[in-house]
Structure 1
Amino acid sequence: MVSSIGKRRLLLVSLAIIVIAIIAVASYLFIIPYLLRPAPVRGSIVVYAAIHEFEVDRLLRMFTEETGIEAKYVRMSAGEIEAKLKAEAATGQIQADVVLGGPMINHESMKKAGLLYKWDQPPPNARDIPSQYHDPDNYWFGFYVGAIAFCINSDRLSKLGLPEPGGWEDLTKPEYKGQYAIADPRTSGTAYTVLATLLSLYPEDRAWSIASTIWKNAGAVPKAGAAPAQMCATGEYPIGIAFAHDILKLLMAGYKVKIVYPAEGTGWEIGGVAVVKGAPNLEAAKVFVNWVLGRKAGQLHTDLSMRLSTRGDVVPPPGTVPLSQINIVRDFKWRWAAENRDAILKTWESAVG
C-alpha cells in the first residue's frame, strides 16, 4: 500500500516529467528554430529606377519601414540605366544594387550584356506569379505589364482640323507632321518598345520606312517615355505615344485625353525588377526584389502607377484594359530586339539622321 507521502512524490515526479516534456516540445517547435533563424538583413541599397519618382519614393519608404533596410534611388529611363550600368561594369565601380522597372526588352538586353545577377532559385514571392512573366534563367522578374497606345487630345486635334489617328501608318501622313511626340529609343524603353513593335508588325524594309518617317516627322523626341503623354495632356501636342498606364494616370487626374490602341496591333511590356551583377549590397538587394514581388508592394505600385500587376491577387486599377482585350502583337520579337539592340539602334540612327 502506497503511503500519502509516496503518492505526493509520485505526483511531483509525474508533474516534473510533464513539465520537462512540455519544455522539450516547446524548444523543438519554437525556441530552437528562433535561435537558428537567419539574422535579419541590414544595411542599405541603391536602386536605379525606370518608374516615376513618386512611385519609387513611396515604394522605398514602405520597404524601409517594413525591413529596416535603407534605400536610395536614382531615376532614369530604362535605356539610360543600361548605359550607366555598362559604364560602371567597364570600370569595375558598380554603384547600384537593383534595377526597378523598365520593359523586358531592356532587362533581357542587360542580361545579355552580363549586367544582371543570376539567382539560383527564383525569390519566394515569384512563385505566386505565373512563370511567363519571369526570365526562365532567373535574371529578372516581372511585376507589371502594359501596352503601347496613342494619347489623344481631342480638343487640340479638333482645333487643328485633324481626325484621330487610328494606327501607325496614319502617323506617316503629311498632315500629322510635327503634331505628335514620341520618345528617343536610345534612352527610352517605351520608345524602343515602339521600334520593336514596328519591326515585328511589318517586313523589314516596310518597318524601317514607317519607323524613319514617324521619328523624322515627330514634333518632339524627348528622352523619357512618359513625356509624350504629358505633352499631349497639357496641349503642347495633340498626340503622344506612350504606355497606356501613363495616359490613364493623366486621364484619372482630370486631363481631357483618351487612349487609342493602334489598329494594326501594338507592342507590350513586362516590367521587370533585377539585382545588379556585382551589387555592393547583394543580400539586401535580394530582400528588396522579393519584397517588390509580394502582394502588398504589388498593390501599392498598382494603385500609384495604374499599371496592371503580374499578381492575380492585386486589384487592378479602374479603367484598365487587360492585355487579353487589346490587339497586341502576338508575334512580338522582343527577345530578338533585346539581343540585337545595339545594331537596331545604329540602323535607327542612320534612318532617322
Structure 2
Amino acid sequence: MKLVTPLGVGTAIWLSASLADASAQDLNVLCGVDEAWCQSMEAAFEEKTGFEVSTKRKSTGEILDQIRAESEDPRTDVWWGGTGDTHLQAVAEDLLEPYRSYNEDDVLPWAQNFYLMSGGMSAGVYAGALGFSYNSEILSEHGVSAPSCWKDLTDPQYRGLIRMANPNSSGTAYTTLATLVQLLGEDEAFNYLTALSRNISEFTTSGAAPVKAAARGETGIGISFIHDAVTQKATGVPLVIVAPCEGTGYEIGAVSIVRGARNMEAARQFVDFSLSPAGQATGAASGQNQIPSNAKAALPPAAPDISLIRMVDYDFATFGSPDQRRRLLERFNGEVLQNAEPVTMN
C-alpha cells in the first residue's frame, strides 16, 4: 500500500489548480459562418491575444439548441456568426450576457440598431441579402428558362432542380421563411412554400449548402444569402446570382457572449476583435463577401451592393421572438416538411 504524504497531497492540489487555470484560458466558440472564416478568425484571434481557441462550426439553429441544452452548465463562451434574429431569440430566453465593446461606437447604423434591439446582449458583425442562384449549364441541360422572381421557383419546370435549407436548423432558411411571410402574408407564404416544396430535391442542414451544390452542378438552383453565392461564383463556376424581383430579406450576422461563460475576459476580447477592422478583415481574407459592420473596415471587393437590391423592411423584433419562431416552425413542419416528397434531379 502506498502512503500519500502531505507533500504529495499539496503537489496534487497545485497541479490540479494549475491545469484548471490553463483550461480557463481556452475559449470555446460556436461559429455560424463558413468553415473557412471560422478557422481564419480563430487563427487571427489566437495570434493577437495568445488565447487558445476551440471553434466548432454549426448551423445557427443547431447552435441555439446547444446553448439552450447547456444553459445550466455552459460549455460555450461565445456564439459568433449566424442570423441575428436567432441571437435575439436567445436574448429573449435569457441565454446571453450583456457586453458593450469599445468598437461599438464605430459600427454602422444598422448594427447600432441591432445592438439596442438586443438590449446590449448581441452585436452586429456583418450584413447580407437573401436571394437564389442558378447554374446556367444545368438549366440549359434541362431545357428550362432562367428564374428571376420568387414566384418563378414554383413552376413545375424546376421539379427536382431546387435545394433549400431546413429552417429548423438553418438561420438562412428561417430568414427565407420570415421574408416570405413579410412579403406575401402568412397564409399565402405557406401556400407558396407548399408549392415550392414540390420542386425541392433536398432540405439541407446548412444554409450555404444549396448554393454550394448548385456550384458543383448537383442541383440547378440554390436558395441562399447572396454573399455565399458570390464566394462560389468567384471560383469560376457558371452561377448566375438573382435578387428576386418582388424584393427580399436580409440578415444581420451577430456575435454574443453566452450567459455564465467560463472564460469571460477572453470572450469580451473576442467580441472586441470581431467588431474591429482587423477582425472583420478575416472575412475577406477567407474568401467571404459579407458587408462588415465597422465603418472603418474595408468592404470585400466582390461584396454585393445591397443598396441596389429591393429589400423588405425586415422585422427583427417580431421574427426574433421565440414564440413566433416556434409557431412558424411548427406550421412549416406540419404543412410543408411533413408533406414534402423530395424528387431528385434527372
- Which range, TM-score by smaller chain? 0.7 to 0.9
**Count of aligned pairs:** 307
RMSD: 1.3
Structure of higher CA gyration radius: 1
Does structure 1 residue 249 correspond to structure 2 residue 231?
Answer: yes
Q: Is the CA contact 2:44–2:282 (under 8 Å) kept in the aligned structure 1?
A: no
Does structure 1 residue 128 correspond to structure 2 residue 106?
Answer: yes
Aligned equivalents of 1:54 and 1:209: distance in 2?
A: 37
Deviant stretches of 4+, over 4 Å: none
2:40 paired residue among 31, 49, 58: 58
Does structure 1 residue 105 correspond to structure 2 residue 54?
Answer: no
Q: Is the CA contact 2:289–2:304 (under 8 Å) kept in the aligned structure 1?
A: no
2:202 paired residue among 197, 206, 220: 220
Q: Is the CA contact 2:227–2:304 (under 8 Å) kept in the aligned structure 1?
A: no
Quick check: which one's strand share is greater?
2
1:153 paired residue among 135, 155, 159: 135
301-310 vs 285-294, which moves further = 301-310
Aligned equivalents of 1:321 and 1:257: distance in 2?
A: 15
Aligned equivalents of 2:134 and 2:198: distance in 1?
A: 20
Q: Please, what TM-score do these two structures have when normalized by structure 2?
A: 0.86
1:344 paired residue among 302, 320, 328: 328
Q: Is the CA contact 1:151–1:257 (under 8 Å) kept in the aligned structure 2?
A: yes
Aligned equivalents of 1:216 and 1:103: distance in 2?
A: 27
Q: 1:170 is paired with a residue of what secondary structure?
A: helix
Aligned equivalents of 2:39 and 2:303: distance in 1?
A: 23
Match of 1:327 in 2: 310
Task: State the Cα distance separating 1:322 from its structure 2 match.
Answer: 2.3
Does structure 1 residue 307 correspond to structure 2 residue 285?
Answer: no
Alignment of 1:268-283 (within 5 A): 268-283=250-265
Aligned equivalents of 1:350 and 1:143: distance in 2?
A: 34
Match of 1:13 in 2: none
Q: Is the CA contact 1:150–1:242 (under 8 Å) kept in the aligned structure 2?
A: yes
Per-residue Cα deviation, 1:277-322 (whole angstroms, up to 9, x for no partner): 1111111101110111001111122332111111222222223222
Q: Identity rate of aligned residues, in percent? A: 33
Q: Is the CA contact 1:302–1:308 (under 8 Å) kept in the aligned structure 2?
A: no
Match of 1:318 in 2: 301
Aligned equivalents of 2:210 and 2:304: distance in 1?
A: 21
Task: State the Cα distance separating 1:135 from its structure 2 match.
Answer: 2.1
Per-residue Cα deviation, 1:32-57 (whole angstroms, up to 9, x for no partner): xxxxxxxxxx8121000001222111
Aligned equivalents of 2:46 and 2:230: distance in 1?
A: 29
Aligned equivalents of 2:46 and 2:39: distance in 1?
A: 11
Structure 1 gap ranges (5+): 1-41
Aligned equivalents of 1:173 and 1:141: distance in 2?
A: 39
Alignment of 1:1-353 (within 5 A): 43-89=25-71, 92-119=72-99, 122-133=100-111, 134-136=114-116, 137-304=119-286, 305-330=288-313, 332-339=314-321, 340-352=324-336, 353=338
Per-residue Cα deviation, 1:221-267 (whole angstroms, up to 9, x for no partner): 11000000011011111100011111111111121112111111111
Aligned equivalents of 1:44 and 1:319: distance in 2?
A: 34
Which amino acid in the other structure matches residue 43 of structure 1? Q
Aligned equivalents of 1:212 and 1:240: distance in 2?
A: 17
Q: 1:274 is paired with a residue of what secondary structure?
A: strand
Q: Please, what TM-score do these two structures have when normalized by structure 1?
A: 0.84
Which amino acid in the other structure matches residue 286 of structure 1? R
